[in-house]
Structure 1
Amino acid sequence: MASVISHLTSKFIPFLLLVLTIKLENSGAFTPPSSTLSRQAFTISRLSSFLEQSSQSENSSPAMGKIEQRLAELGIEIPSSAASPKGNYVPAVRYGNILHLCGHIPQRVADKSLITGKLGVDLSVEQGYESARTCAINILGTLQAELGTLDKVEKIIKVVGFVNCSNDFDKQANVINGASDLFGEVFGKEVGQHARSAVGSNALPLGIATEVECIVAVKED
């Protein structure tokens, strides 16, 4: 059996090399050497170069950061770009190793729709919680766009959340927990736990239910 395999291999490899050489020649990629031996050697060289380039391409692919892996485990999809400003401002301003992020709105990643409404009127606390969580997810998108990877987040320092609510609504803290809990899930207690304010408002831009901003310490480059 071994002799049969050896015989077939000895016949097949030269044939394969010849076919590949002809294909390369027909493509106009090179002018092949005249002798059969040289043609085979040239083809082997081309194949080796191709395999090496493929390997380098695979190795050069950016590795997924630990926090990005955590997001994948949690099934959380974040925006692929920073938040789009709705006025005369920028999504984030870095001063030293402190990053100030603008107020982020509850825009769903999947369909870009907004979570709108007023707590205490047409939205429940649970719906408000989901709105604040969505704001925090959008903040993660801006952080990743600004830093390249969420692994560079050293500490979530401060979170400020605004809740569109009726005058008698007093569960703002429960609503903004949606953002705080998200940061805890993603970054863990040591990095994700933060100081916070939860503020009620009689209206928010675009009729949105919540708006969340934060201050973040980032690791030195």
Structure 2
Amino acid sequence: MNIEARLTELGITLPQAAAPVASYQPIVIAGETAYISGQLPFVDGKLVTGKLGAAVTLEQGQQAARACGLMIIAQLKAAGLLERVAQVVKLGGFVASTPDFSDQPKVVNGTSDLMFEVFGDAGLHARSAVGVPVLPLDAAVEVDAIVAIRPA
């Protein structure tokens, strides 16, 4: 499957891959595995902030998680790995939420559904979705990824 063509078919325009906000690499390759650092949700160039269960609705959280997924794909593209994705192995979803909010899995579905939409069966993955009290820059969601890549 040609991923660039698939993105075009889906009407998806990737954002510019975000530069790190601290001392880390956005993506590290070890053997045939790409480790993508936690990506924050930028929608129309603006960071989605706040907490689920307070100012951020479930739907807004899902859109934020989708934006994180778009940024993961953008990082793969920037590293020249987009067409080498063999399998999205695992996603780690972090949701800034109030203590009584328990729909973190539904929020992170925003990323999971995107991965399947773009990569098909290669987008099916293992996952964690956890609630946290605060994320960097007051982001509502952060998602990292482990991706198997085909040899060059």
Shared fold (TM-score greater than 0.5)? yes
Unaligned runs of 5+ in 2: none
TM (normalized to structure 2)?
A: 0.96
Alignment RMSD (CA, Å): 1.1
* Residue matched to 1:71: 7
Aligned equivalents of 1:100, 1:201: Cα separation in 2:
21
TM (normalized to structure 1)?
A: 0.67
How far is 1:212 from its partner? 0.3
The letter of the residue matching 2:24 is Y
* Residue matched to 2:137: 206
> Where is the helix percentage greater, Structure 1 or Structure 2?
1
Aligned equivalents of 2:47, 2:15: Cα separation in 1:
14
* 1:135 aligns with one of 68, 73, 88: 68
Residues 6-155 of structure 1 aligned to structure 2 (within 5 Å): 66-80=2-16, 82-108=17-43, 111-148=44-81, 150-155=82-87
Aligned equivalents of 1:219, 1:79: Cα separation in 2:
24
**Count of equivalent residues:** 152
How far is 1:192 from its partner? 0.3
Deviation string 1:108-128 (CA, Å, 9 cap, x unpaired) is: 2xx311111110001111110
Deviation string 1:82-141 (CA, Å, 9 cap, x unpaired) is: 321000001011000001010000012xx3111111100011111100000000001100
How far is 1:79 from its partner? 2.3
* Residue matched to 2:116: 184
Q: SS of 2:79's equivalent? A: helix
Deviation string 1:119-176 (CA, Å, 9 cap, x unpaired) is: 000111111000000000011000011125x221000000000000000100000000
Runs of 4 or more above 4 Å deviation? none
Unaligned runs of 5+ in 1: 1-64
Aligned equivalents of 1:147, 1:217: Cα separation in 2:
14
Using CA pairs under 8 Å that are at least 6 residues apart, name the structure with larger relative contact order, 1 or 2: 2
* Residue matched to 2:147: 216
What is the percentage of aligned positions where both structures have the same residue?
A: 46
Deviation string 1:53-100 (CA, Å, 9 cap, x unpaired) is: xxxxxxxxxxxx8111111111111124x3210000010110000010
Q: Which has the larger radius of gyration?
A: 1
